[in-house]
Amino acid sequence: MSELPSCLTRHGERLWLAVSVVPNARRSGADGLHDGALRVRLAAPPVDGKANEALLAWLAEALGLRRRDLALVRGQTARRKWVEIAAPPSPVIECVQRLLTRSSTGG
């Protein structure tokens, strides 16, 4: 099994992803690690849950999962959020590592 990136933790059978959100960005995308969390820039405002929904939709697409496989478990009104992922760990870990590598190389 792959080693977990610092932004992922195990909670029973599930993985939790720590996310640091930057709303109102020009476009949505991963932007490396920030204080042990995956920094995600979102092209959505932080009002009426729009940024939260945009985050979950973007993560689902980026991780190759269905939207219903993700749940925001902490940080509904904070920039630091925890997302629970209901999917097999290995492919999720590989996708998160790819996101981190891609964002650190600028691609």
10 Å Cβ neighbour count for 56? 21
- Domains in the chain, CATH or no CATH each: 14-98 (3.30.1200.10)
The encoded tokens of residue 41 equal: 């820039």
CB-CB contact of 31 with 47 (8 Å): no
Alpha-carbon distances, residue 50 vs 23, 24, 27, 33, 37 (angstroms): 10, 11, 14, 23, 20
Interacting residues of 5 by C-beta distance below 8 A, sequence separation 6+: 33, 93, 96, 97, 100
Q: Report residue 1's pLDDT band, with 50, 70 and 90 as the boundaries.
A: very low
Per-residue pLDDT tens over the stretch 35-85: 999 999 999 999 999 999 999 999 999 999 999 999 999 999 999 999 999
